[in-house]
Amino acid sequence: MSNRDDFPQSVKRTLAERVGWKCSFLGCNQTTVGPDSGDTNGRINNGIAAHITAAAPGGPRYDPSLTPEQRSSIDNGIWMCRSHGALIDSDHTIYSVEQLKNWKQLAETQQSLLLQMTHQVSQNNYSERDVGVLKAITDIFNYNYLQILKSEQFRAKVSTNITDPLYAFDSIANNPFYSFNDVVLEGLRIALIGKVNNFCALFRQRCAGGFGGYYDYIDIPKIRQFSPDEVERHYDIINETQDLAYDISVAAHKLLEIRAKLP
């Protein structure tokens, strides 16, 4: 008999439905369900109901104070794609209980906003307040900066001109005065927050500090000299950093396009 406090099927389905069958890993938003091309009556589910605190002793983030009912309840679950479901358990020291609960709440909030969009068509006559917030965010993510961000190589030295705008946005991201009333704009802002958070988490983890307007990042020649077996892994990290920066550019450009069309 299994000693795991697994979720019943009803809980798994409700977790998925509450986020529109999309991954709740911040910034992912991957759709996890679709048609089975080999069966006209079938579907493919690439998602997983992940435990926030482990289903059994010895698992990631296990909490012995919880009852079996609490461990298998919907409050202890978060819906993710299989890739991120595995990641949060493989690197559980980074992905804490509090962080996962916050991501779950953000994902459900974003889905709620999308649901409202079916009843509220976004208008071009945004409120004065929303226009002010839009200008504040797109002043940070202006067109020239986004082009520089997309072309950054992220090697041995990374200029603070790249990171300062990201940290500036990060400092206001959770400030309610910088949120939108318009549901479409707010959905775009939440998506941008996710992209910036993903980038900052990786960059801070790999950055070796900074001085004189630059951060020390990944010095491939030095790694090749002292740790040649690590070169390929660090190239992968560079590529991942570039991809995350590109994701920020795409997300921010959507807000920039809206501002460009303002009267």
DSSP string, 187-201: HHHHHHHHHHHHHHH
Q: What integer pLDDT is reported at residue 2 of this predicted model?
A: 63
pLDDT in tens, the chain (263 residues): 468 999 999 999 999 999 999 999 988 888 999 998 888 888 999 999 999 999 999 999 999 999 999 999 999 999 999 999 999 999 888 899 999 999 999 889 888 877 765 444 445 678 999 999 999 999 999 999 999 999 999 999 999 999 999 999 999 999 999 999 998 899 899 999 999 999 999 999 999 888 889 999 999 999 999 999 999 999 999 999 999 999 999 999 999 999 998 88
Residues in the chain: 263
Q: Is 104 exposed, middle or buried, given 0-12, 13-18 or 19+ CB atoms closer than 10 A?
A: buried
Could you tell me the two tokens for 200?
């900052």
Q: What integer pLDDT is reported at residue 119 of this predicted model?
A: 47
Nearest-angstrom CA–CA distance, 121 and 119? 7
User: Three-state SS for 179?
Assistant: coil
Domain assignments of the chain as residue spans, ordered by start: 9-117, 128-260
pTM over 0.85: no
Helix (H) or strand (E) run with residue 15 in it: helix 9-18
